[in-house]
A = this chain, B = another copy of it.
């Protein structure tokens, strides 16, 4: 009997992990995130590891079953510079203006920590997707930042929502942009015998 844990409160990650047909418990990591790098791929890998480790150690002693903890972190980057969540209207405007008419990258790092038949192990990987955004008019930018959508999201946009009309195309895994590269995660779990 395997018990799965998702170390994230994101409803989008919950939905994606659910598509694998497994049952899992949501247990968001709460520790302060510690960033010691500027390279987006290394940052998301490190943050996913921090989240996963926190939850793994929290449940390890209280749970005798096989356990699998999945942690993930997503950032948006433009020209290798990480864009966080916008702090207000001005910050959202400058992020969306930067993305307009350009190609940017979305990185998600994922860490799987597990104890299976008494053996512990972990795997960390990241996935990168290029996202091309149409040139936006000033009116379109103002209209978008006047909605609530940009303010809780890395890079100031959500690809599934109102911003979809401005996304010309992507190259890579779409679900990675949503927040969890589910096909790569499925293959990692499958290859480790964790499904």
Number of interface residues of A (CB under 8 A): 26
26 A-B pairs, CB-CB below 8 angstroms?
A19-B161, A19-B164, A20-B165, A21-B162, A129-B169, A134-B187, A159-B174, A164-B175, A164-B182, A164-B183, A165-B182, A165-B183, A165-B186, A165-B187, A167-B174, A167-B183, A168-B183, A168-B184, A169-B171, A169-B172, A169-B173, A170-B170, A170-B171, A170-B172, A171-B171, A174-B174
Q: Which of A165, A168, A186 has the most CB of B within 10 A?
A: A165
**A166 lies within 8 A of chain B by Cβ:** yes
Q: A173-B167, A173-B168, A173-B169 given as contacts; is B19 within 8 A of A183 (CB)?
A: no
Interface string of A108-138 (1 = CB under 8 A from B): 0000000000000000000001000010000
19 additional A-B residue pairs with CB within 8 Å, beyond A129-B169, A171-B171: A16-B164, A19-B161, A19-B162, A19-B165, A21-B162, A134-B183, A134-B187, A164-B175, A164-B182, A165-B186, A165-B187, A167-B174, A168-B173, A168-B184, A169-B172, A170-B170, A170-B171, A170-B172, A170-B174
Q: Which residue of B lies closest to A189 (CB)?
A: B165
A142 nearest CB across to chain B (Å): 15
Residues of the B chain whose Cβ atoms lie less than 8 Å from the Cβ of A183: 134, 164-168
Q: Which residue of B lies closest to A143 (CB)?
A: B21
Q: Which of A20, A161, A173, A182 has the most CB of B within 10 A?
A: A173
Q: How many copies does the complex hold?
A: 2
Residues of the B chain whose Cβ atoms lie less than 8 Å from the Cβ of A187: 134, 165
Q: Give me the interface of A with B, judged by CB distance under 8 Å.
A: 16, 19-21, 129, 134, 159, 161-162, 164-175, 182-184, 186-187
A89 nearest CB across to chain B (Å): 20
Residues of the B chain whose Cβ atoms lie less than 8 Å from the Cβ of A161: 19
Residues of the B chain whose Cβ atoms lie less than 8 Å from the Cβ of A134: 183, 187
